[in-house]
Amino acid sequence: MRKMLVVAVREYLAAVRTKAFLITLIIMPVLMSGSILIQWLLKDYRDTKTKKFAIIDRTPGTRLYPAIEKTIQAYNEKTIDPATHKAILPRFDLELVSASMNTSEAIAEQRLELSERVRKGELFGFLEISPEVLGWSKGEMGKQEPLLRYQSNRPTNLDFPHLIEKPLLHAIQDIRMDEAHLQAPREQIRAIMRPVSIEALGLTSRNPATGTIEDASLQGRIASVAVPIGFMMLMFMVIMMTATPLMQGVVEEKMQRIAEVLLGSIRPFDLMLGKLLGMTAVSLTITTVYLGSAYGAARQYGFAEYIPPDLLAWFVVFQALAALMYGSLFIAVGAACTDMKETQNLLWPVMLLAMLPMFLMGNVLQEPNSTVAVGLSFFPFATPMLMILRQSVPPGVPSWQPVLGVGLVMLATLLCVWVAGRIFRVGILMQGKGAKLNEMLRWVFHD
Amino acid sequence: MLAVAIEGVTKTFRQHVAVDHLSLQVPRGSIYGFIGPNGSGKTTTLRMIMRILYPDRGVIRVLDEPGDNKPTDRSILDRVAYLPEERGLYKQMKVREVLHFYAELKGFRRSRPDIDAWLKRMDLSAWADKKVQTLSKGMAQKVQFIATVIARPELILLDEPFSGLDPVNTDVLREAILELRRSGATIVFSTHDMGVAEELCDFICMIYKGRKVLDGTLESIQDAYGSDTVRVHLESSAALDNLPGVVKITDFGRHQELRLAPQADTQALLACLMQCGRVRHFEVTRPTLHDIFVRIARPDAAPEEESHA
């Protein structure tokens, strides 16, 4: 027992006292938020090349084209910065294509022809206006056929359709109102018809300090998504930050033949447990630093209410268990390999397990209490990350769930540690070549 | 009072028999040398004594531990130290920290005075607070030796302790080993260097292909082979062949060693040699350990081995 602690203390100090540790501690959050930062920095850098669009207006007398043309003209005037005379937005050019015969063959033929032009790069996309768009009788309401079609080979760039959508709608409504001989002023009708949307908000609460009732805030909405994601990313990051050096350490001990000396003094299982404890302590140190500073900042700026203390406690519990569980798997991989390159081959199943919650994050966030989400959060390798994710999405989970989750993770951790111990015992002395998966299985189940 | 008692131990790796029905006894307070060619089972035996490996069959008892001790009981190992052949230390740790760590691992606390004394003795005091990776190979090897003996073990197992050391450090290490013995420790070491084995060991055991082929004091081993060796030095380097009763000639350059057939006549040999040239040196002697080793371990040695058995 004492020897295990001696090993744990050495592992902890070896990890924490390096400059690399401090640097990683600072750089990791920067890297993790880096992609968001880059997108934000690059949001003003846009492609300003002129884009050309074809319009097929099948309404009699091309009645809608002028509305589009007017909108685009107004837009094009804004594409040049008046001060610098530099293009800040792409200019849009229009080409009115005369509509084909109104038979399905001719229409399909024309769509193909324009699509070919998009493929060749002559056009960026084309908009097709069905003549039925002007109809307003009841019978025409339920039609499935799209009335406005925008085709392009770059379906993610929707600047053009978004730009003309509203003006076009207004033009269509104007024509419909004319044809229906409505007497009321257009603006009045539009005001009557303006759409109403539902705003999704959190709950209103009474501030215990001031006694005032506080409405659900926008921050609350952001926090209800940001806190769960933040928790989960943090847990994943800390596992990777600590388990990988742990594995490297095992490989180093094998390569440097330190393992043999250690095993002359301590049981392989105790050695491994010591390493695991050391790593868990490192991961809790990192967690304390990150969560502490995040919580401190949250308090400073008045967001502390979104990070309840009991959630922090659960996070620490799950973080520690995840460190033990994944740490033992990483140790087993390290013990089975003779150099760092080999670890890559054996590590992927473990990485897949660790990444699983990340893949499921979106779905679980959406429906944290769906049967699938609940079920997945009881899969022990996903439990630490998914359970904390579900717990931190309001309204949280019934309290039996994290308790059962911790129990299951503990069982899985014991199993992992046992399996890793068997592999470690044989692998740590093995030199020359790394083990195959089937060899590792034999180590686990035989003698 | 035995430091190590091995009884009928066999260890097999898959098809390969590494140690085959080995039995031996190491008396306390002795220096016990393991010799044998590479791959003969020396390291496996040392690892089994350290319980890093477990024997398939047989019993190994260390420091007179009770016979009902389970082979997995490692508590006795706090009194045993082991220096593996291929050594390594944590490169990023400081010398003093490494030594402290190894002392703690053996359950030895308050190791600081001992560490300082050993560092001084090995001429490493200036390096106590330097990282291991800054040490030269010889220095690292000395640090490793200190790490092995820092917890005042009663039994010390050293696997090839002298390999790679220069003559000065070899002397330092040999003196350290002798002093450890004087203070009551038992030292078991393996070596390829027959000279060191002859000089240092009270008992020598040779393992060949997993079996014990020699065991005893140097004298008893040499006695078993009899005085069948003649060391000669002739003034002129005449070709020595067709000598009566000589079965093998080993040329060492400045002198030659002749091995005699049983019951060969040394007088007739001397007479014959005098025909060949002026004889400067003629000595009927026992074979050296080196010679015995080579006789056993040479690929063509099998029939000769039987003639002595």
Read off the CATH number of the domain in which B135 is found.
3.40.50.300
Residue B212: the pLDDT is 85
Name the minimum distance, in Å, from the CA of A317 to any CA of chain B: 29
8 A C-beta contact, residue B248 and residue B307: no
Whether pLDDT at A432 is above 70: no
The answer to whether position B264 is within a domain reads: yes
Any chain A CB within 8 A of the CB of B78?
Answer: yes
Q: Is B90 in contact with A256 (Cβ distance < 8 A)?
A: yes
Q: Residue B86: which of A7, A253, A257 has the nearest Cβ?
A: A257
- The domain total for chain B is 2
pLDDT, mean over chain B:
83
* Same domain? B33 vs B53: yes
Domain boundary among B221, B246, B275: B221
* From A137-141, B30-34, B271-275, the region with the lowest mean pLDDT: A137-141
Neighboring chain B residues of A265 at a CB cutoff of 8 Å: 77-78, 102, 105-106
* From A404-408, A425-429, B14-18, B37-41, the region with the lowest mean pLDDT: A425-429
Higher pLDDT, B71 or B34: B34
The model's pLDDT over A369-394, given as tens digits with 9 standing for 90+, comes to: 888 888 888 898 888 888 888 888 87
Would you state the structure tokens that stand for residue B257, as one six-digit string? Answer: 């060693």
Name the minimum distance, in Å, from the CA of A15 to any CA of chain B: 10
The answer to whether position B308 is within a domain reads: no
Q: Is A7 in contact with B82 (Cβ distance < 8 A)?
A: no
The answer to whether position B198 is within a domain reads: yes
| Beta bridge mates, B5 | B25, B61
* Same domain? B202 vs B62: yes
* Same domain? B256 vs B186: no
Residue A56: the pLDDT is 93
CB atoms within 10 A of CB B216: 13
Q: Residue A429: which of B52, B81, B90 has the nearest Cβ?
A: B52
Kindly report the CA angle at A10 between A8 and A11, in degrees rounded to 5? 65
What sign does the dihedral A263-A266-A269-A270 (CA atoms) show? negative
Q: Following DSSP, what letter does each residue of B217-231 receive, concatenated? A: -HHHHHHHH-S-EEE
- Percent of chain A predicted with pLDDT > 90: 19
Please count the residue pairs, one from chain A and one from chain B, whose beta carbons lie less than 8 angstroms apart.
62
* Same domain? B204 vs B104: yes
* Same domain? B188 vs B173: yes
Whether pLDDT at A114 is above 90: yes
Whether pLDDT at B29 is above 60: yes
Whether pLDDT at B303 is above 60: no
φ, ψ of residue B283 to 5 degrees: the values are -135, 125
- Mutation site, A6, A260, A269, A443, interface B, largest B CB count within 10 A: A260
Domain coverage including residue B231: 227-285
Tell me which amino acid residue A357 is: P
Any chain A CB within 8 A of the CB of B108?
Answer: no
Q: Residue A3: which of B89, B105, B147 has the nearest Cβ?
A: B105
Neighboring chain A residues of B47 at a CB cutoff of 8 Å: 260, 429
Tell me which amino acid residue A139 is: G
Residues B139-153: what's their mean pLDDT?
89
Any chain B CB within 8 A of the CB of A111?
Answer: no
d(C-alpha A343, C-alpha A435), whole Å: 10
The answer to whether position B138 is within a domain reads: yes
Strand bridging mode B186-190 / B155-159: parallel
Residue A65: the pLDDT is 92
Q: How many C-alpha atoms does A144 have within 13 Å on its Cβ side?
A: 0
Alpha helices in A80-158 (DSSP H): 104-120, 138-141
Name the minimum distance, in Å, from the CA of B84 to any CA of chain A: 7
* Same domain? B111 vs B148: yes
Would you state the structure tokens that stand for residue A217, as one six-digit string? Answer: 């805030």
Neighboring chain A residues of B101 at a CB cutoff of 8 Å: 6, 10
The answer to whether position B307 is within a domain reads: no
* From A31-35, B55-59, B224-228, B239-243, the region with the lowest mean pLDDT: A31-35
* Same domain? B87 vs B169: yes
* Same domain? B103 vs B248: no
Would you state the structure tokens that stand for residue B30, as one six-digit string? Answer: 């002795």
* Same domain? B279 vs B183: no
The model's pLDDT over A188-219, given as tens digits with 9 standing for 90+, comes to: 888 888 888 887 777 787 877 787 887 776 66
The model's pLDDT over A332-363, given as tens digits with 9 standing for 90+, comes to: 888 888 777 888 888 888 888 888 888 888 88
* Same domain? B126 vs B141: yes
Higher pLDDT, B289 or A46: B289
- Mutation site, A10, A265, A269, interface B, largest B CB count within 10 A: A265
* Same domain? B52 vs B85: yes
Any chain A CB within 8 A of the CB of B152?
Answer: no
The answer to whether position B124 is within a domain reads: yes
Q: Residue A267: which of B74, B84, B107 has the nearest Cβ?
A: B74
* Same domain? B121 vs B153: yes
Identify the burial level of A292 via C-beta atoms within 10 angstroms of its C-beta, where 0-12 means exposed, 13-18 middle and 19 or more buried. Answer: exposed
